[in-house]
Amino acid sequence: MLDGLSFNLGSAGGEEAVEETQAAERGPRPEIENVIIVGSGPAGWSAAIYTARADLRPLLITGNDVGGQIALTTEVENFPGFDSIQGPELVERMQRQAERFGAEALIDYVTEIDMAGPPFTVRTAGGLEFKAKSVIAATGASPRRLGVPGEELLTGRGVSYCATCDGFFFRNKDIMVIGGGDSALQEALFLTKFAARVRIVHRRDQLRAGVTLQRRAQANPKIEFVWNTVVTSINGQNKVETVTLRDLVTGETYDTPTDGVFVYIGHLPNNELFLGKLALDEDGHLITDKLMRTSVPGIFAAGEIQDHRFKQAATSAGQGVAAAMEAEKYLADLEDRTYPGDEGTHAEVKLAA
């Protein structure tokens, strides 16, 4: 068990000492957790805030990608309450708020969830095993790959999925950004801080990004657009040297030199823990009802692991709140106690797949 240890992700100095003292005051972790939250993006931390405020002492297990996708975003302008905020800072604020109410975070990666419960058994890559009365899955999604020759070989050698992480290495270089949505344009704009030229390659003749982002990208003198075009291979020995492109209108295939390829063509749900255990849709997202309940009572889901439509930090946060509230209701029903405003038990509403 954790024996009251505090798993602080970002605080330092006096704040860290205070949090360790607070953790000691809370005492050791219970033999059976009320709720374990798997994932540390906006959905996970929002669920942690609400379950902590309900005095459930949630345990949040971060996963390998601490902070989720939003932590890799350079500038967030559409999260309520902030005109503009850096993604990592937004996650850090969520973490501090959750921990202030009594949530605890463990930097580890869940490798297995035994759905035969409650209690459910959660095992981690660090060799820890926990029992939990309920689980909130907030594992998010990961970048979709192009799936073309050279991509895997040259990942980390000019192929990237994170402008925040790697943009600095492309100062005064030529870069291609693949995609036409919000993420592609946001990262292209960020990369203009470093690159000499940024070409946005999109398979259509219209962008899917919001109007404001389109206007900014089109006004930026460093950005060029390559329409109706797809990447067929990424070429180079020890680094990216050229990209093979195919014009979808003319069918012409040609090579063009570039120093880097940043890929933003969508995401795939991180569903490995749930394959064969929970109901998934045809795209691999967890199926939930409107109350964030999965096909197994006591297992809830929030964020992009179940959201195939909206995929926004703000909607993920709201889904995390809903999952937390429903988990609290589920625990009240499980323990045969009342929940304020509850009009029925968990068992009375069936999952609408």
Paired residues of 53 in beta bridges: none
Distance CA 312, CA 310 (A): 6
State whether 19 and 125 are in the same domain: yes
Which of 166, 182, 259, 333 is flagged as catalytic?
166
The pLDDT tens digits of the residues spanning 175-199 come to 999 999 999 999 999 999 999 999 9
Rounded to the nearest angstrom, the gap between the alpha carbon of residue 4 and the centroid of all alpha carbons in its chain is 27
Which of 55, 114, 165, 281 is flagged as catalytic?
165
- Last-in-domain residue among 235, 263, 291: 263
Contacts for 353 with CB less than 8 Å, ≥ 6 apart: 279, 287, 295
- Based on the residue annotation, tell me whether 162 is a catalytic residue of this protein: yes
pLDDT of residue 50: 98
Q: Please name the helix (run of DSSP H) or strand (run of DSSP E) that holds residue 296, with its range, or none.
A: none
State whether 57 and 166 are in the same domain: no
SS3 of residue 92 by DSSP? helix
Sign of the alpha-carbon dihedral angle for 261, 262, 267, 269: positive
- Based on the residue annotation, tell me whether 165 is a catalytic residue of this protein: yes
State whether 18 and 88 are in the same domain: yes
**Enclosing domain of residue 255:** 151-263
Distance CA 22, CA 44 (A): 21
- Last-in-domain residue among 263, 287, 318: 263
Which amino acid type is present at position 193? Answer: K
Distance CA 112, CA 104 (A): 20
Contacts for 145 with CB less than 8 Å, ≥ 6 apart: 151, 152, 263
State whether 110 and 205 are in the same domain: no
Distance CA 160, CA 264 (A): 9
Distance CA 342, CA 213 (A): 43
State whether 48 and 94 are in the same domain: yes
Distance CA 119, CA 117 (A): 4
**Residue 353 located in a structural domain:** no
Tokens describing residue 8: 């602080």
pLDDT of residue 27: 78
Sign of the alpha-carbon dihedral angle for 122, 52, 311, 142: negative
State whether 240 and 99 are in the same domain: no
Angle between helices 313-334 and 42-53 (to 10 degrees): 40
State whether 27 and 56 are in the same domain: yes
pLDDT of residue 343: 52
The pLDDT tens digits of the residues spanning 15-38 come to 554 455 455 466 799 999 999 999
Tokens describing residue 103: 């949530």
The number of distinct structural domains making up the chain is 2
CA dihedral (49, 350, 283, 159) in degrees, to 10, reads 10
State the DSSP string of 32-74.
SEEEEEE--SHHHHHHHHHHHHTT---EEE--SSTTTGGGG-S
SS3 of residue 247 by DSSP? strand
pTM of the predicted model as reported, rounded to 2 decimal places? 0.81
Which amino acid type is present at position 65? Answer: D
Distance CA 107, CA 10 (A): 11
Which residues of the chain are under the pLDDT cut of 70? 1-26, 339-353
pLDDT of residue 353: 43
- Last-in-domain residue among 223, 239, 263: 263
State whether 18 and 131 are in the same domain: yes
**Residue 8 located in a structural domain:** no
Distance CA 211, CA 83 (A): 17
Angle between helices 211-219 and 182-191 (to 10 degrees): 30
The pLDDT tens digits of the residues spanning 283-337 come to 999 999 999 999 999 999 999 999 988 888 999 999 999 999 999 999 999 988 8
SS3 of residue 315 by DSSP? helix
210 burial level (CB within 10 Å; 0-12, 13-18, 19+): middle
**Residue 2 located in a structural domain:** no
**Residue 1 located in a structural domain:** no
Question: CB of 98 within 8 A of CB of 45?
Answer: yes
pLDDT of residue 341: 59
The distance in angstroms from the start CA to the end CA of the chain is: 36
CATH of the domain at 247: 3.50.50.60
Which of 65, 108, 162, 174 is flagged as catalytic?
162
State whether 201 and 224 are in the same domain: yes
